[in-house]
Structure formats: structure tokens, C-alpha cells
A and B are shown apart, each in its own frame.
Chain A
Amino acid sequence: MSEIVTITLTINGRRITRAAGAHLTLLRWVRDEAGVTDPKYGCGEGICGACTVLMDGEPVSSCIVLAAQADGAEITTAAGLLERDGSLGPLQRAFHACHAAQCGFCTPGMLMSAAALLADGRTWSPAEIRAGLHGNLCRCTGYGPIVDAVEAAQRERAQ
């Protein structure tokens, strides 16, 4: 192996193979090589959560995973939560309805942490939802509506 590695990722159902720098993080690979720009670069240290994606179903900070480490994985970003016809999915609709985004920078990461919670299938209390999102920072201080949105999506799922 060398400074260039060829890897394959399936991003939101689309399989992509590229040869690119081995030093690229999963975030840079997804944004710059695959052109999927909804995960954001925030802190670069895995603290803020703006780069959160699902890697084989588990939330990870894509800024502190090497793309080469994810070779072969299924990656889901916020765009992967859309319905087949391109309309908003249930969690996204709930974020919209609850005004859970202000500037929007944290939203793609919030959505993925929330999606991981909901994928678990359990019904979470507001306190557990807060605990589940605690590694995702919102600088607009919009946490209340975000927790409301996850609860709303959870209620909709139960119906």
C-alpha cells in the first residue's frame, strides 16, 4: 500500500470506488471524492458531531475515521434519509415541523445521531434522547426543538 489507496464505499445506496489519498478522512472522501456534502466539517476532533454519518448502521465522527478504515462499508448521510421520490423522510419532516434547525450546520449530524436512536426500535424518553444526542453540539442553542422533533418522529413511527 502507499499514499494512494483504492477503496469502495456504498454511500446512501450508491456504490463508489476511487483511488485517493490514504490520509483522507471518511468525511473528506465522502465530500470531495463522492460529492456528498451534507456531513459538515466542524471541529476535526470528533467532539461537535457535525460530521456524524452512519457506518454500517453505527454513528461515527467521519472526521476522525480514515476512509481507508471504512473500505467496504455502507455509509448513510442525511441525504440517505430521504424518501425514494426525493421528498423528506419522517425524521426530516419532524425536524422541519418542530423548527429544529436554525443555521443548519449541526443538522446533518443531529439527524444521523437521531436516526441511529430511532433505528434501535425502542421508545426513548426525552432524557434518553438528550443523552443520545449529547455528542452533537448546536451553537444556535436549539436543543429543545431538536429533542421535540425526535420525540415527534418516534410518535409517528409508533402509529
Chain B
Amino acid sequence: MLTRPFRYERAAHYADACDLLREHGDDAKVLAGGQSLLPLINIGLAQPGVVVDISRLAEGRDITVGADGYLTLGALVTHARLAADARARSAQPLLPEAAAHIGNNRVRNRGTLGGSLAHADPAAELPLVMVALGAAYEVTSGHASRSVRAEDFHLGFFTTALAADELIVSVSAPVLGPGWGWSFQEVSRRDGDFAMAAVAALVRIADGLVVEARVAAAAVSDRPVRLADVETALTGCPPGGVADRVGPLQGISPAGDAGASAQYKRRLARVLVIRALQEAAGRAGEAA
């Protein structure tokens, strides 16, 4: 379909972009990689009067591993770059693995980390791993910055804790510590489609037993959800026995769609949780 004309503003800095967002309010949309916004504009679901392009900012592209034990990623890092980055892979392999599952290679070449997090699709890979990792997002209004935990940021369907004039600048996620293993599991109808269910898991093994676990699931609720019951149930479990500790999943509420019924997704999510825990436990064992 033919797009309604809009004003185009190319921001030079985050602060400019925030000023433009304050000036234009609801009529403005932020454009980063555009891999969600432009399809929405093309099909007429979004009709912004002003598009604020942050895709050409000089800022926001760094990938750094700090002495503080955190991997920090600029919001404009593309999925393709994250998937291929050797430092990110060795610091926190869950992140590049999740990025490699996003869309097709064209989407990964343009799509950005901050864009995916701010868009907050409940089936998206990156919000899921951020919740599983306990990552924090640095957001700015141009005047002030604040840090928001991933779990507090993702509030519901395409809904986040960002104020109308705020942008994500960077993300900090803990690096994979000693004794930890990880896994990312996703099922979709075809490679690159939205997930029917996806699970990210981290397991720490000490003296041959699971001592800590972090598990989250996507596409089975209106936001990525931590599975606290599963995490608690794993404590003290031998790595070979994790499957027996996973009961029916609590805290998820999948919606049926053309691809799968709610019941199917519920069962699929449990299967993926078990696979993820087994793989993560295996990797933790190898690392120990």
C-alpha cells in the first residue's frame, strides 16, 4: 500500500531525538533499524506524522566487556553484529545465540537491539534473554538517565516502562560466570518466523549439583516471564535429573492462534524448558 507522507527528522544525538519526541508527542515514532516500524507503516497499522531517525547516530554501537563483570551493548548494535561478535560470544553466549534466531538475515542486518527491546513483542528473542539474564537497560530523556531492570521494563503487549520522550541507550548483562551453563530453545513454524514458544535458561552447578538457575519463556504471555517455580525446584538437583523437577509451568498464559492452540503452546513451553535446562546443565558440567 502507499504510505501517507510524514516528516522525517534525522537526529544527530540521543538528546536531539528526545527533544523531537517531546515536541511531537504521540504523532512521532522512533526509527532505528525499522524492521518492525516500517512493516507496520506499510500495512497501515502505524501512521506517524513525524519519524525520528536514530539509525545514523554515531553513538550506541559499542560492545564492551567491563571489569565489573558486565557485557554492555549499545542500543544500535544490530542483531547480525551481536550474533557474530566474538567478545559477546565468549562473555555471554546466550545473547549472540538469541540474536541469531531473529527473523532472516536481512532483518538481522538492519534490526537493532534497542529497537527490539523497545518494540516489546512478546514473542521476541532479545527481551526474553534480557529477562533471563537479569539485564538492565540504560534509558535517557536527554536531560536525565535511569537504569531499568528488564523485568520491570517489559510490561505487556508492545508496552514498556519507557516514557514518551525516553530512548534506550545501552544494555548491561552479566557475563557468564564460572560453573554456569546456558541454553536458548525456540520453536517456530519455519526458520525466522515468530516463536510459538522460546525459552532461555542459565544453570550453575557446584559439587555436581544445581545450585542456581534462571529460566524465562517468551510467546506464552504478554511479556517474557521468569519461571520462578522452576528455578526454585531445581536447587540441589543432580544435572541428569532436571527433567523430573519440571512440573506444569506456572505464570504463563499462552493465547491460541492460527499456528498453535493455547494448550499446545503450554505443552511446548514445558518441553522447551526441559530441553533448555538439560542443555544448560550439560554445558555447566563441561565448564566445571
Check if A59 sits within 8 Å of B105, measured CB to CB: yes
Closest beta carbon of chain A to B20's beta carbon, Å: 10
Check if B9 sits within 8 Å of A1, measured CB to CB: yes
Closest beta carbon of chain A to B42's beta carbon, Å: 4
Check if B7 sits within 8 Å of A134, measured CB to CB: no
- A65 vs B41: C-alpha distance when bound (angstroms): 11
Check if A131 sits within 8 Å of B5, measured CB to CB: no
Interface size on B, residues (CB 8 A): 32
Interface presence of A135 (CB below 8 A): yes
Interface residues of A in 8-49 (CB under 8 A from B): 21-25, 44-47, 49
Check if A135 sits within 8 Å of B103, measured CB to CB: yes
- A134 vs B5: C-alpha distance when bound (angstroms): 32
Report the tally of A-B residue pairs with Cβ distances under 8 A: 98
Return the contact of A69 from the options B6, B53, B103, B192 (Cβ within 8 A). B53
List of B residues within 8 angstroms of A24 by Cβ:
3
Dominant secondary structure at the A interface = mixed
Closest beta carbon of chain A to B249's beta carbon, Å: 30
List of A residues within 8 angstroms of B5 by Cβ:
3, 21-23
Check if A45 sits within 8 Å of B39, measured CB to CB: yes
Known: A45-B39, A64-B39, A69-B55. A1 touches B7 (CB 8 A): yes
Interface residues of A in 104-121 (CB under 8 A from B): 113, 116
Return the contact of B106 from the options A25, A46, A131 (Cβ within 8 A). A46
Known: A46-B35, A46-B39, A134-B191. A65 touches B110 (CB 8 A): yes
Interface residues of A in 27-86 (CB under 8 A from B): 44-47, 49, 52, 58-61, 63-66, 68-69
Interface presence of A132 (CB below 8 A): yes
Check if A22 sits within 8 Å of B105, measured CB to CB: no
- A22 vs B191: C-alpha distance when bound (angstroms): 33
Which of B4, B8, B9, B190 has the most C-beta atoms of chain A within 10 angstroms of its own C-beta? B8
List of B residues within 8 angstroms of A68 by Cβ:
8, 10, 53
Check if A63 sits within 8 Å of B42, measured CB to CB: yes
- A113 vs B104: C-alpha distance when bound (angstroms): 11
Interface presence of B109 (CB below 8 A): yes
Interface residues of A in 99-154 (CB under 8 A from B): 113, 116, 131-132, 134-135
Check if B8 sits within 8 Å of A45, measured CB to CB: no
Interface presence of B38 (CB below 8 A): yes
List of A residues within 8 angstroms of B53 by Cβ:
66, 68-69
Interface presence of B43 (CB below 8 A): yes
List of A residues within 8 angstroms of B8 by Cβ:
1-3, 5, 22-23, 66, 68
- Map CB proximity to A onto B107-127 as digits: 1 under 8 Å, 0 otherwise: 101100000000000000000
- A132 vs B35: C-alpha distance when bound (angstroms): 19
Check if A65 sits within 8 Å of B7, measured CB to CB: no
List of A residues within 8 angstroms of B191 by Cβ:
131, 134
**For residue A5, which residue of chain B has the nearest CB?**
B8
Return the contact of A135 from the options B4, B56, B106, B110 (Cβ within 8 A). B106
Interface presence of B58 (CB below 8 A): no
Which of A2, A60, A63 has the most C-beta atoms of chain B within 10 angstroms of its own C-beta? A60
Interface presence of B1 (CB below 8 A): yes
Check if A65 sits within 8 Å of B6, measured CB to CB: no
Check if B42 sits within 8 Å of A64, measured CB to CB: yes
Interface residues of B in 24-55 (CB under 8 A from A): 31, 34-35, 38-39, 41-43, 51, 53, 55
List of A residues within 8 angstroms of B56 by Cβ:
69
Interface residues of B in 181-198 (CB under 8 A from A): 190-192
Known: A3-B8, A60-B110, A64-B39. A135 touches B34 (CB 8 A): no
Listed by A's residue number, 5 A-B pairs whose Cβ atoms lie within 8 Å are: A22-B5, A44-B42, A58-B80, A63-B38, A66-B8
In the A-B complex, the 3 residue pairs with the smallest Cβ-Cβ separation, listed nearest first, are: A135-B104, A22-B8, A64-B38
